[in-house]
Amino acid sequence: MLKEVRILDAGEVSPDVFGPWQQALAASFQACGIRAAVVPVADSLKPSATDRSLTLAFNLTRVWSSANANQFHLAWLVDHPSDHADLFFPQISHIPVNPATCMVGSVDRHWLAFASDVYLYPNAHFLPHPCLCKSLTSPDWKDRDLDVVFIGSIEDTDMLREDLLSNSGPFRPMLEALVEQYRFASGLLMEHALMDALRPFNLEKTQIVFAVNAFLQKLTRYHRMLERKRLFESIRRANIHVFGQGPWKKLKLSSNIHVHDRIPYGEAVQVMTRAKILLNC
């Protein structure tokens, strides 16, 4: 049985989503009778106090060293594996990763399949998002004064498109086609669409992986922002409150969409409890 968990502090990130999760995780482990604490990331180099000890951190938070390569570690990825490709290709990144002792947790089953089937990582597991809500309760609608709330950013799609296509060499026509023709509504995952488009190039497996690492994140980001932009520019009736960063005010938004400044993670939860509908796109 697990006896000790050291949760490596992700430090100051914006927005601060990891801090509350880390503290809640430590408390939950302690409630199960397991010694747990949030510790500085440098503590990942300290030897384990017991052979049933584990370090845990979100994404790639850890001092990666040959000195701790054989210590059990859980890298809890809250992003697509391609955002953390260094973990899966130590021969390129020179990160000392031992798949026998380094478990990867993914919050999305499709992302898990990508890590297992495309990156061929043998120790990847489905591990849903951590939650700070201990129990579900029926909302008190009289206190919900915001009709619809969206919390998120927007980016300039023209700049994202240029960043994707610049220096893409022989892949440019393929990428232009994916920019123009791909739609999330088709049900086809972006990684599958990209890999299908790469087949005519007759690339070796390692070359396909390099191309996916180079283009997938940028393609996904472009289309996510494009769909978000189209959605908000099409809404004409519902009163929507947007909390986030980016050039929201440059969009052609109707007067029923109210743009607010970005808010800290702790305040975001409070805003959510005021919403009748939470929009996720």
Residue 137: per-residue pLDDT: 66
DSSP string, 203-227: --HHHHHHHHHHHHHHHHHHHHHHH
Q: Looking at the DSSP assignment, which residues form a beta bridge with residue 124?
A: 104
Residue 39: per-residue pLDDT: 93
For residue 167, what is the DSSP state? T
pTM of the model: 0.82
Q: Is 91 exposed, middle or buried (0-12, 13-18, 19+ CB in 10 A)?
A: exposed
Cis peptide before 15 (omega within 30 of 0): yes
d(CA 107, CA 12): 22
Burial 51-70 (b: 16+ CB within 10 A, else e): eebbbbbbbbbbebeeebbe
With the C-alpha atoms ordered 256, 261, 264, 265, is the resulting torsion angle positive or negative? positive
- Residue 130 region by backbone torsions, left for phi larger than 0, else alpha for psi between -120 and 50, else beta: beta
Q: Tens-of-pLDDT digits for all 281 residues of the chain?
A: 789 999 999 876 655 678 878 888 899 999 999 999 999 999 889 887 777 899 999 999 999 999 999 999 999 999 999 999 999 988 888 899 999 999 999 999 999 999 999 899 999 999 987 665 566 566 677 788 999 999 999 999 999 999 999 999 999 999 999 999 999 888 899 999 999 999 999 999 889 988 999 999 999 999 999 999 988 888 888 899 999 999 998 888 889 999 999 888 778 888 988 899 999 88
The CA R_g of the chain, rounded to the nearest whole Å, is 21
Which phi and psi angles does 115 have, rounded to 5°? -60, -35
Listed as own residue / partner, the contacts of 203-209 with beta carbons closer than 8 Å and 24 or more positions apart are 209/89, 209/118, 209/119
Residue 257: per-residue pLDDT: 92
d(CA 101, CA 122): 11
CA distances (Å), origin 234, targets 18, 56, 59, 242? 34, 43, 35, 15
d(CA 83, CA 74): 17
Greatest CA separation found in the chain?
Answer: 60
Inter-residue contact 249 to 259 (CB < 8 Å) = yes
Return the residue matching tokens 């604490």.
Answer: 37
Listed as own residue / partner, the contacts of 232-236 with beta carbons closer than 8 Å and 24 or more positions apart are 232/150, 232/154, 232/257
Residue 269: per-residue pLDDT: 82
Residue 24: per-residue pLDDT: 87
